[in-house]
Structure 1
């Protein structure tokens, strides 16, 4: 696998009690890198995980399984399990679009100063317009014009 692989960290946990007991799953994070890096982050999360059930834990066991970890917590009457799995992300319908590459645009040519109203364009004579790095005039063309008041 390449080091640009994205891994999903999936947590499946027991919810509810008695007859309403069921398992819910969610992707809690993504890790971009190697599978080893993803497993290390998953193990960190598994070791620090505090499940909602049982309310009064009697025993806690964390086991390593093929693609992740299994946390078994025994309560007074029942055991509850949380499965931590690392899985390669193959597709994500809600992923943000990849950024487009930045292309440097050539600096625009200096524009000729605008002629005051009533003055023909041929009579525009003056120094070249000074532009900053983004191509914006350092001194606006309207600055100092007396016909704008």
Structure 2
């Protein structure tokens, strides 16, 4: 039961990590990797921004490794929470919002529509300054009532 709680708490904490990383790293000193993601109608299969999937996978992989050596421990479940958040991020950000895969094209779910609206507001700024809505799963209420 404790390990399930650790996984869930890690997943929830990742929203804060995502917000901070997006605001201060992606829109900060690693803007050169994130910039192409803010350009309209990027034509490539991959963006430089996709490097963040690898960057964010490294801690999860390391936690899996140290979480099974010498025996299964709590680090494994922290890594699992990060992995679960990464899967959710991929499904929400790349599939639902940016439609890189056409799986959820016509959703009418109010929460998912609100996520799309908030992310659209984030992308209306083509530069790294003046951004808003840096998280992924938590969206301010105003985007659901627009």
TM above 0.5: no
Would you tell me which structure has more helix in proportion to its own residues?
2
TM-score normalized with structure 1 length: 0.28
Larger radius of gyration: 1
Would you tell me which structure has more strand in proportion to its own residues?
1
